[in-house]
A = this chain, B = another copy of it.
Amino acid sequence: MKNQVLQIFKIGGNVINNDDALNSFLKDFSTIKGPKILIHGGGKKATEVSSAMGLQPQMINGRRVTDEATVEVVTMVYAGLLNKKIVAQLQKNNCNAMGLSGADANCILAHKRIVKDIDYGFAGDIDAVNDIIIDVLLQNNLTPVFCAITHDKNGQLLNTNADTIASEIAVGMSKLYQTELNFVFELKGVLGNIEDKNSVITHINSEKHEQLVTQGIIADGMIPKIHNCFNALNKGVSKVKIGDASLVNSSNKLYTTLSL
């Protein structure tokens, strides 16, 4: 079992916000042979719906503060509209997708983030991934598609960071599979020179990671992202790749691979 490769992809707003980009990605994703899982973030639709509902999006340190009305909106948009649109497109491409939140089949158990300095409201921190039930789905040739909503098994839905969900699922499934985690974002990979979109550093190991942070080449928002990747590698994930939407296309060779 452990020899079977499980491909996990996480896509964010930059792919989701553009129907053509999304459908093109999903078409390529559908052609991946073997077990696979997709995790998607939110995108601008949640902000659009929030505004229409008269809610003022509140952000602290780039993270959304999730009050009760906001958790309703993100549940609608992430678990409803985006998740089902993605599932319907994958079904069109003969990929037998099943859309899930963390509450479904108790796949991802979380708790409301503990308030230290900032109260992020109904934001979830993950406690457990139910690898057994996710494997039942994979064994039945289903492709789980997770949105960024979890629950606390006490009736509360929780808004949860999609990058973290992807990492935790990859770690959880690495008990059963050789898991490869792929983060799709707006750049072709980790750049050596921020001014040059093609200056992709193709391979980063732990040692190089430290160097790049010291040199300030990995900086700002990339620091937690890459930290998250190495955390996954340290906990059993075989390989992590970072790149743009063409990462899913096997003919693309320009991306960053991270390994220990």
Contact = CB atoms under 8 A, between A and B. Distances in A.
A29 interface: no
Interface in A28-82: 49, 52-54, 72, 75-81
A188 B104 CA distance: 31
B84 A79 contact: yes
A242 interface: no
Contact of A75 (B52, B84, B100, B133): B84
A89 interface: yes
Contacts of A76: 49, 76-77, 80-81
Interface string A86-130: 011101100011111101111000000000000000000000000
B49 A151 contact: no
9 contacts: A79-B83, A84-B103, A87-B101, A89-B155, A91-B106, A91-B153, A97-B104, A98-B104, A136-B136
Top 8 nearest A-B pairs (CB, nearest first) are A80-B80, A76-B76, A76-B80, A92-B155, A79-B80, A98-B105, A88-B103, A76-B81
Interface of A: 49, 52-54, 72, 75-81, 83-85, 87-89, 91-92, 96-101, 103-106, 133, 136, 140, 142, 149, 151, 153-157
